[in-house]
Amino acid sequence: MRRYNFVIIAILALMLLPLAARSQMGSGRFDAEFSRTAEILERAQSVVGDAKAGSMADEFRGVVLKASSLLDLAVNLQGEAMGMGRNGRYLEGIGTTMKARERAFEAINLIRKSSAKLANPADENDNLVLRQLERTDDLIIRVQDQMTAGSQALLESLFNSAQDAQRQAWEFYHNGQYRPALKLSRQAERTLLRIGTRAENGAGSGAQVENRIQQTEQRLEQVAAMAQNCNKSEASDLYKKAMNKIAEARQEANRGDLSRAESGLAQVQAMIQKILALCSDGESLNRAITQVRAEIERVSADIRKSGNQEAISLMEAAREHLGEAETLCAKGDTDNCAANIKAAQMNIRKAERLAGI
């Protein structure tokens, strides 16, 4: 009941946001995403609540506890999203409410899958419909990610129709009407796939800007080791400013202001060049090479003891990248030297995770 009241309060609070703030770009989509999550949260609370109320076998008790934890996390995230919406931070709010929705879906699916196995593992029709419904729910989230605040009215209309069909499909499923549930969910899936294709094809220059943002992020990652190990403090400050500026550029692109996003990217590129100029004496890069090599030697024995072949291969790849970095630095090729150092860092850290270090 406490969680149910939270959802109602959250919706009412969102409706009472100041009119001026709600009129800002992005508020419309935030409202839609927040309300959609509120619906999913209510559904999740019902599913988890019913599971708690019923008699639980020992093997099901742990599942219910995990689902309850996921639901608590979803409620907390939705609360954070509500605060972001109040403050006009619509893009952050959209991302947070969608995370809340994903956790709520996880809670629902966890209970339903376990219930199906325990109650009637031979019921293929039920399992078939449930898998279809879950697949369409996942697709709804992915398509929402593709659609921007300025999406065509036709796409918005199609998306709303698909959501309505999926909601009706879930109702049929709850009532044991599997055939209409399967039919409606498949219709929604086909509509969502068409929307995704159109949104992708219609992205145009927006997609190009996104590609440039990703390329600039990769470029920034390549000079990270150089900036962190540079003996000039200005380099570290420039790196932090560049990280903030590229985040701003992404926000501008998401709002549809591509010219400001492009301007921000140009500033980031200038900062990267300045970092290279400050730290290209070779000393900073050699310090970074020494640091990564020391990390590899520190964890080498533990990675081999783990027996994880992928982790061992990644560690060897990290060594090769460092060797290549040394060669490139000696030739004065600082850009590619920095890129190999970054690759070595990424490989050894992934190896550590795989080996459980």
Query: Quick one: pLDDT at residue 241?
Result: 92
Tell me, what DSSP letter sits at residue 257?
-
Neighbours of 175 (CB within 10 A): 10
Q: Is the pLDDT of residue 57 over 60?
A: no
Query: Quick one: pLDDT at residue 283?
Result: 72
Query: How does the average pLDDT of the chain come out, rounded?
Result: 79
pLDDT tens across 80-93, in order? 999 998 888 888 88
Residue range 192-214: mean pLDDT, rounded: 71
Q: Is the pLDDT of residue 226 over 80?
A: no
- Domain ranges in the chain are 24-119, 120-204, 207-279, 280-355
Tell me, what DSSP letter sits at residue 37?
H
Under 8 Å between Cβ of 223 and 338 = yes
Under 8 Å between Cβ of 65 and 17 = no
Residue range 149-168: mean pLDDT, rounded: 77
- SS3 sequence of 117-143: HHHCCCCHHHHHHHHHHHHHHHHHHHH
Under 8 Å between Cβ of 13 and 34 = no
The pair of three-digit structure tokens given for residue 220, joined into one six-digit string: 């920034």
Under 8 Å between Cβ of 355 and 307 = no
Q: Is the pLDDT of residue 14 over 70?
A: no
pLDDT tens across 242-260, in order? 999 999 988 888 777 777 8
Q: At residue 322, what are phi and psi to the nearest 5 degrees? A: -65, -40
Query: Quick one: pLDDT at residue 258?
Result: 74
Neighbours of 322 (CB within 10 A): 23
Neighbouring C-alpha atoms within 13 Å toward the C-beta of 151: 24
Q: List the end-to-end C-alpha distance of the chain, in Å, as a whole number.
A: 42
What is each CA distance from 201 to 148, 187, 193, 196, 328, in whole angstroms? Answer: 13, 22, 12, 9, 40
Residue range 44-49: mean pLDDT, rounded: 86
